[in-house]
């Protein structure tokens, strides 16, 4: 059974990303064919990248990097929950991605984004970033526009259809996570 992380992609005080990620996790955790875990990058206190060697060497010197690498290595796939900041992902999410390298390889990811236009530009940017880390993003995506899913911002009130849309993302992430496990084993 694949192990999949729902990653909270913001560390800002007062953020709504945690609430959205908790909703994703609640829906995902009821599924019988994968083991889901909520992973909040805020819990790892990653500073701006501070390792002396580039991450592709895999020679992490800092305890916070080793802890982050060990956590990410546990998973077969990911669901990234990201807000859109200035047409992109958050600096904190980009930094967390950049901290390590091989631990991301040959794994699947689904994207849940939110913002004024559903966060679609952040998701588009995230697809390019994770491709360089050898993460395969699935086709299905959940975009949550503030106008419809946060009618009393910052309260998150997803439209009824959102759970079905999320199910399509999770179906694909689980399938691809299982398939890519064979690549990692080989």
**pLDDT for the residue numbered 94:** 98
Residue 170 near residue 31, CB atoms below 8 Å = yes
**pLDDT for the residue numbered 116:** 94
Residue 100 near residue 55, CB atoms below 8 Å = yes
CA distance 78 to 38: 10
Global model pTM greater than 0.85: yes
**pLDDT for the residue numbered 186:** 77
CA distance 6 to 55: 22
pLDDT of 171 above 90:
yes
Rg for the chain (alpha carbons), in Å?
16
* pLDDT per position as a tens digit, 18-62: 999 999 999 999 999 999 999 999 999 999 999 999 999 999 999
Average pLDDT over residues 118-142: 98
Residue with tokens 């697809």: 127
What does the domain layout of the chain look like in residue ranges? 3-185
CA distance 159 to 34: 25
pLDDT of 92 above 80:
yes
pLDDT of 185 above 90:
no
Decide which of 3.40.50.2000, 3.40.50.360, 1.10.10.10, 3.40.50.1370 is the CATH code for 3-185: 3.40.50.360
Task: For residue 40, report the phi and psi dihedrals to the nearest 5 degrees.
Answer: -105, 115
């Amino acid at each position: 059974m694949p192990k999949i992380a729902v990653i909270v992609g913001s560390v800002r005080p007062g953020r709504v990303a945690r609430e959205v990620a908790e909703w994703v996790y609640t829906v995902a955790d009821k599924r019988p064919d994968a083991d889901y875990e909520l992973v909040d990058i805020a819990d790892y206190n990653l500073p701006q990248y501070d390792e002396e060697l580039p991450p592709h060497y895999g020679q992490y010197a800092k305890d916070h990097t080793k802890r982050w690498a060990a956590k990410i290595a546990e998973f077969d796939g990911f669901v990234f929950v990201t807000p859109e900041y200035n047409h992109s992902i958050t600096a904190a999410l980009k930094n967390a991605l950049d901290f390590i390298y091989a631990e991301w390889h040959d794994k699947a990811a689904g994207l849940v984004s939110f913002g004024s236009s559903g966060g679609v530009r952040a998701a588009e940017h995230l697809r390019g970033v994770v491709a360089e880390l050898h993460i395969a993003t699935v086709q299905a995506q959940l975009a949550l526009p503030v106008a419809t899913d946060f009618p009393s911002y910052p309260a998150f009130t997803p439209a009824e259809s959102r759970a079905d849309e999320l199910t399509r993302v999770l179906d694909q992430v689980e399938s691809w996570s299982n398939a890519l496990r064979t690549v990692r084993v080989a």
